[in-house]
Structure 1
Amino acid sequence: MNQEVGVQAAPSSAIKTSAHGTYKIPALRVLSEITSSLSSDNNLDSLLERFLGTMVKLAGADAGAVRVLTADGLYLRLVGALGLPPEVLEQERYIPVDCGVCGEAARAHTAHNSTDLKACEERTAHGYFGKQCLRVVAVPLRYQGKMLGVYNLFMATDSPVPEDVSLLFQSISEHLGMALENARLTRENLRISLTNERQMLANELHDSLAQTMAYMKMRLPLLRDAVANRDEARSNKYVNDLGQALDSAYAELRELLTQFRNRMDPRGLLPALYDIVGNFYDKTGITIDFINHAPDINLSPDQEVQVYHIVREALNNVSKHSRANHVSLAVEIRQSRYVISVEDNGIGITGKVNTDSGMHLGLNIMRERAKHLNAEVTVTPGDKAGTRVTLSFPVSAGHREDSL
């Protein structure tokens, strides 16, 4: 397999050739181009490749390569190459981090160059080193004292790289090292986000579907006992209980799938609540008012998610159990606490909270989520009729009621 790694040469406008044939690039222009690329280039390998051609021409090298440190810290992985023979390229895809001049640069955290190419020759078993290539320069990519990769320049002469060019290489390596570190942090944040998303799904299953399944599991032995004793009345009761629980579990599963397909609005809690309100009547036939007296809700993303799902669950209970034709959602601040209430004009809570399994499960879900907010969920009669569900939790430090 002799496929070369793709390379993009540096823009010709950034390169000037002197009368003596030496390539010189104004330092500020190169660094400005790198800085601009850090914010606009999402492909790190492409970014590193782009400046490989610049560094090769700047040093007057015949070939070059750019490598990044592998996750285990033991090897340097080839990202891009320019001018290397295919046979050499195949052997250069992964090299030990302590190998030859690259190892010297990694240990010293500074650019190194060497005419001792024995390690390169032995590793590749190719005559390129010592014949076509007489000197190798290794410029480490580093950030805050960490070595993250290396640029290699392969020279056809044994003349050292000029000092001013070496200094520019150091600046380039620091800027590109920052890009490597930012990419690493981005990957870590993505892993954390995925882990949190999976944990959230596990919590959703535990807080809703698992509780319904547990209820069914407790009813099943009672049904068996009733059947064994030929108690038709009890048998019918437990069969009905299991049927209702199964219907509830199926509905909860569909609701969970809907929630995870339609995640909370990434703009934040208030746009997400407006979205719920906008769709509520079409889904339920129940009219809804949204009264917001706290337009500057100051919550962390995790807190916003918890509040969002508590409100969804409260409105879900209204649609399932209240027999209401109107509901109001209110958000306000009282005595340094956020107070979010959902009030309907339905049949009220007489005997409902304690006897209706669906309503009881919904409240358990809300109260479980409220623990993450240091919050309270209360269920009381409405002002005139129906039911009011209230979520109350402290306003975060630095957010004052009189600022609204």
Structure 2
Amino acid sequence: MKPALFASWQKLSTRIVGLLLSFLAVALLVIGSTLLLSWQLEGSAAAINVAGSLRMESYKLAMLAGRATDGADHANAVERLRAQVRRIDGTLDLLEKGDPQRPLFLPPTAAIRDVYAGVQQEWRTALVPPVRALMTPEPSPAGASYAVQQLTERFVLRVDHLVQRIERDSERRTFWLRASQLTLLALALIGTISIIYLLFDMIVAPVTRLQGGLERMREKDFGVRLPVESNDEFGMLAHGFNQMADKLQDSYANLEQRVYLKTSELEQQNRELALLYDSASFLQQPQSAEAMCEGFLQRISEYFGADGGSVRVLDPNRNNVHMLVHQGMSEKLVESERCLKVGDCLCGEAVVSKLAVIHDLRRHQDSHNLQCHREGFSTISIFHIFAQRQYLGFFNLHFRKTVGFTAAQTALLETLGQLLGTAIENQRLQVRERELAISEERNLVAQGLHDSIAQGLNFLNLQVQMLEQSLKQQRFDEVESIVPMLRAGVDESYQDVRELLHNFRTRLQEGTLVSSLETVVDKFRRQSGIAVDFEADGDGAPFPREHQLQLLFIVQEALSNVRKHAAAGRVTIHLADRQDFTLSIRDNGQGFDMGRLETLGESHVGINIMRERAQRIEAQLHLKSAAGEGTEVVLHLPRAQRRAA
């Protein structure tokens, strides 16, 4: 408990409060004693007045005693004498008991109490009995009143002695009252001076020292220190100021070095970002895989100062790793490592673990058996190529001196490996997408050929067979009828071939979908001679070019069917392009039975081609037709499936 109390006393707030409370206690004590002395002086002054009145009352008693010996009006004099005795008794009792409210009391000293006891005894034993003797029904002799007067003189002398005692005591108490007041004044002066000094010593001086230290520190004098002269708050503040000065001095001394280190770190980060940006921009360009990997390898080799390197891709079917590009490596080393089995050599082992590895060949046990070490390389690093967690291969960096990689450099190379893997995978996906598009387009071409050329050639084949039989049988009348049919079949096939070639060569012109459709419609008018009404109403978002091309193909196929089968004189095309897209192609031809169309199924290639093209853009294709009422093809693309360019 003692150390805790001592520590608590060391606090500035505790010391200030303790000082003020001590000063307050002393001031209250002095003020209390002054008030007590004043109260006692007031009581003594009242006691002097009351005691002084005893002398007058005693002389009055002596005068009444003289009248009691006179025969005239004796009874009245006796009654007044009795009243005077009671009055004096009451005054003596008042002096003995006192009256705190006036205040009135005898000073509490033994000498005054003894004198008062003598006065009271003189009254009761010496003066009261003779006076009572005069209170008889008959007048007393004149000598009796003279005796009372003599005793009254003695009693008055004792009362005078009591008053003098009280006055001397009051003089002494008045002296102490003045002394207390002077003491209070001295305490006020001394306390004020002491408080000013202590506050200056405990508060003003430490604050001034602290302010001076701050001014010196503002002038970059970081060697300034404050003396710790106490354990209070200012001592703690001075200690904290010194600690702050130590740290600032150390920081300022090492500021240039830290700025240099930070600048170096920022430059390194900027170089890394520049490498990442340059690599990502380069890998996004359309190019072959070899050119892409060669440019990638050149960039990282220049950045890390590598003396050689290679990029290798994995063949998961044969479990081989093939070298795609290389630099800084001899032909002998390239030939020996052009195709590695997974698990062979250091690079093949890294494929199994799929972890980045840096080999120091000087510390490797079998380094003399490695061709790369025999060619002078000391460090071989292996970093892997990933794309969406799919392992594609790895790339090497070869160094002729021992090189180590930091965690940041390793992370940078792993990120670059992911960029390269994503570029390689995107290139493969683009190749597959082109192959799929070519396959789908070839399928549509085959369907178009089957729907037009194949059927026409089949018709011509039948006519040729019939012509051959008629010639053998020498039925020349049938020959004359077959030859025009052959000529018409050849012309139809020729027109189909031209139309197919035209459709296959169709390209989107610069402009909107409406302008491209107007070009197709104008060409159809010139070639077929059929009137076409084209209406376009729309301000919807533009379609991707692939979707626009599919829409052109659908319109061309529908117009081709009109030319071949409808025997129509007019075609109406209406395009409504809002949030939803609707395209309708209606003719006034002969139409057909929809029920019969359902029985044909997949054999009607033209309609199936239009439906497949509509499915590619997630649109819905509907046919409406009846015998003798024409045909309408309606293409509808809801807003939910619509994609903007």
TM-score, reference length from structure 1: 0.71
| Aligned counterparts of 2:572 and 2:489: Cα–Cα separation in 1 | 29
Which residue number corresponds to residue 242 of structure 2? Answer: none
Which residue number corresponds to residue 202 of structure 1? Answer: 446
| 1:120 Cα deviation after fit | 10
Q: Residue 378 in 1 paired to residue 625 in 2?
A: yes
Residue among 79, 83, 87 paired with 2:332: 87
| Aligned counterparts of 2:623 and 2:328: Cα–Cα separation in 1 | 67
Residue among 388, 400, 408 paired with 1:164: 408
Residue among 242, 251, 261 paired with 2:505: 261
| Aligned counterparts of 1:249 and 1:29: Cα–Cα separation in 2 | 62
Cα distance change, pair 365–263 in 1 and its aligned pair in 2 (3 A)? farther
Aligned pairs for 1:2-401 (under 5 A) are: 26-40=271-285, 42-70=287-315, 72=317, 74-114=319-359, 115=361, 116=364, 126=371, 128-130=372-374, 132-263=376-507, 270-280=514-524, 288-293=532-537, 296=540, 307-316=551-560, 328-332=572-576, 338-343=582-587, 349=590, 366-372=606-612, 373=614, 374-376=621-623, 378=625, 388-396=630-638, 398=640
* Residue ranges of structure 2 left out of the alignment (5+ in a row): 1-262, 594-602, 615-620
| 1:251 Cα deviation after fit | 2.0
* Contact 1:310–1:366 (8 Å) recurs in 2: no
For 1:134, the aligned partner's letter is: S
Three-state SS of the structure 2 residue aligned to 1:375 is strand
| Aligned counterparts of 1:367 and 1:92: Cα–Cα separation in 2 | 57
Three-state SS of the structure 1 residue aligned to 2:416 is helix
| 1:248 Cα deviation after fit | 1.2
Higher relative contact order (CA 8 A, sep 6+): 1
| Aligned counterparts of 2:536 and 2:365: Cα–Cα separation in 1 | 72
| 1:283 Cα deviation after fit | 5.1
| Aligned counterparts of 2:365 and 2:513: Cα–Cα separation in 1 | 61
* Contact 2:310–2:326 (8 Å) recurs in 1: yes
| 1:112 Cα deviation after fit | 1.5
- Please, which moves more after superposition, 228-237 or 170-179? 228-237
Cα distance change, pair 392–299 in 1 and its aligned pair in 2 (3 A)? farther
| Percent pairwise identity | 23
* Contact 2:573–2:584 (8 Å) recurs in 1: yes
Cα distance change, pair 278–69 in 1 and its aligned pair in 2 (3 A)? farther
Three-state SS of the structure 2 residue aligned to 1:157 is coil
Task: Kindly indicate which of the two structures has a greater share of residues assigned to strand.
Answer: 1
| Aligned counterparts of 1:211 and 1:66: Cα–Cα separation in 2 | 54
For 1:257, the aligned partner's letter is: L
Aligned length in residues: 357
| Aligned counterparts of 2:297 and 2:560: Cα–Cα separation in 1 | 58
| Aligned counterparts of 2:623 and 2:570: Cα–Cα separation in 1 | 24
| Aligned counterparts of 1:61 and 1:298: Cα–Cα separation in 2 | 50
| Aligned counterparts of 2:317 and 2:512: Cα–Cα separation in 1 | 38
* Residue ranges of structure 1 left out of the alignment (5+ in a row): 1-17, 354-362, 383-387
Task: Kindly indicate which of the two structures has a greater share of residues assigned to helix.
Answer: 2
| Aligned counterparts of 2:367 and 2:434: Cα–Cα separation in 1 | 38
Three-state SS of the structure 1 residue aligned to 2:306 is coil
* Contact 1:370–1:376 (8 Å) recurs in 2: no
* Contact 2:312–2:395 (8 Å) recurs in 1: yes
Three-state SS of the structure 1 residue aligned to 2:386 is strand
Cα distance change, pair 274–314 in 1 and its aligned pair in 2 (3 A)? same
Three-state SS of the structure 2 residue aligned to 1:293 is strand
* Contact 1:113–1:136 (8 Å) recurs in 2: yes
* Contact 1:69–1:148 (8 Å) recurs in 2: yes
| 1:59 Cα deviation after fit | 4.0
For 1:391, the aligned partner's letter is: V
| 1:85 Cα deviation after fit | 2.4
Cα distance change, pair 259–218 in 1 and its aligned pair in 2 (3 A)? same
| Aligned counterparts of 1:309 and 1:56: Cα–Cα separation in 2 | 50
* Contact 1:327–1:342 (8 Å) recurs in 2: yes
For 1:367, the aligned partner's letter is: I
Three-state SS of the structure 2 residue aligned to 1:132 is coil
| Aligned counterparts of 2:310 and 2:422: Cα–Cα separation in 1 | 19
Cα distance change, pair 110–117 in 1 and its aligned pair in 2 (3 A)? same
Which residue number corresponds to residue 359 of structure 1? Answer: none
